[in-house]
Amino acid sequence: MSTLNIVLVEPQIPQNTGNIARTCAATNTRLHLVGPLGFSIDDKKLKRAGLDYWHLLDITTYTGLDDFFAKNSGPYFYFTTKGRRVHSDVQYPDGSYLVFGREDAGLPEDLLVKNPASCVRLPMFAPARSLNLSNTVAVGVYEVLRQWGYPRLQSAGRLTQYDWDQPTT
């Protein structure tokens, strides 16, 4: 069983974290929340964004980065607008941790400068500052899962009122 981990470092916006939680639930991806958080884990906005997917989540919280790193071993990939490598040029092994920073500040630069080979970015139009955090996580998750052949994910849908194999009259 392949395992993918999403790490949010000090997320500030409950709706973003809720959206990311829903992505994690829909992709069978583990979610790690590194504090301090900018909201309560019981926040209605957080739960509302995740809707009825909370029972599908594998979620762990940590008091800070030291706590997180003491309890987990990589490989780590740091998503940052400051990265010099494109996210899709990297091969992600089983057990990878995709690490994302605060919406307003990103990841600490002292962490990035110590791990330059593990810093990746999404290509963007130069005047744009960054993508929304939940969108960036979704792009990262699906790139890894694409490389892995979408393990355990359903790749075909079903119509509710029609049958794909029966012509309509």
The CATH code of the domain that includes 117 is 3.40.1280.10
pLDDT of res. 44: 66
Q: Is residue 125 one of the residues assigned to a domain?
A: yes
**Structure-token pair, residue 49:** 């964004």
Binding-site residue numbers for S-adenosyl-L-methionine are 101, 122, 130
Report pTM: 0.92
Q: Is residue 154 one of the residues assigned to a domain?
A: no
Q: Is residue 17 one of the residues assigned to a domain?
A: yes
Binding-site residue numbers are 101, 122, 130
**Structure-token pair, residue 131:** 């993508």
User: What domain range includes position 33?
Assistant: 5-147
Q: Is residue 160 one of the residues assigned to a domain?
A: no
pLDDT of res. 87: 98
Q: Is residue 89 one of the residues assigned to a domain?
A: yes
Q: How far is CA 165 from CA 51, 57, 104, 162, 168, in A?
A: 32, 34, 49, 9, 9
pLDDT of res. 143: 98
- In one letter, which amino acid is 169? T
Total structural domains in the chain?
Answer: 1
Mean pLDDT, contiguous 10-residue spans, the chain (169 residues): 95 91 95 92 62 82 97 97 97 98 96 98 93 97 97 91 84
Alpha-carbon distance 90 to 77, whole Å?
9
Q: Is residue 161 one of the residues assigned to a domain?
A: no
